[in-house]
Amino acid sequence: MMNYFAYGNSFGGAMASAAIFGILGIILAIAATVLVFIFITPEKKYATLPKFFRIVADIFNFKNLMIETILRALYVFFTCYAIISGFFTLFSSFLGGLIVMVLAPIGIRFGFELLMMAILAVKNIIAINQKLKNQNEQ
């Protein structure tokens, strides 16, 4: 019978290096967070930033909602998937495939419109708050 432990156990070494990299990652993330909050996110520094860092500042300050773009892409994907899967379902069940090709995109549209209405409501609330803030400053 072979003694596998006599040849060395690399599991402990892998765990130790994973722990070291994890701690190093936490320290670097804290440092990056402090730097971003000092040099990128303040509104007063926005005008002096290069274009790339303005985009980064917009992302960190939530000026543009990325979820809107993601939802649009998911809407297109799910609609295409429903139509394509409905087409392939036509070969096994004509009526079932036809129903999937017609009703699934309509249901997907309703669901995504509800999500987009919530996002647009948030965007409008943000715009109203910005206008009120500008009005109060004058």
Please determine, for residue 116, whether its predicted confidence score (pLDDT) is greater than 70: yes
pLDDT of residue 92: 92
Q: How confident is the model at residue 6 (pLDDT cuts 50, 70, 90)?
A: low
Please determine, for residue 66, whether its predicted confidence score (pLDDT) is greater than 90: no
| Cα gap 109→101, rounded to integer Å | 13
Please determine, for residue 48, whether its predicted confidence score (pLDDT) is greater than 70: yes
**Pairs from 55-64 (Cβ < 8 Å, separation ≥ 24):** 60/36
Residue with tokens 């290096």: 17
Q: Find the mean pLDDT for residues 71-82.
A: 96
How confident is the model over 18-33, as pLDDT tens digits? 889 889 999 999 999 9
Q: Per the structure block, which two tokens stand in for 14? A: 């892998």
For the chain, the average pLDDT equals 88
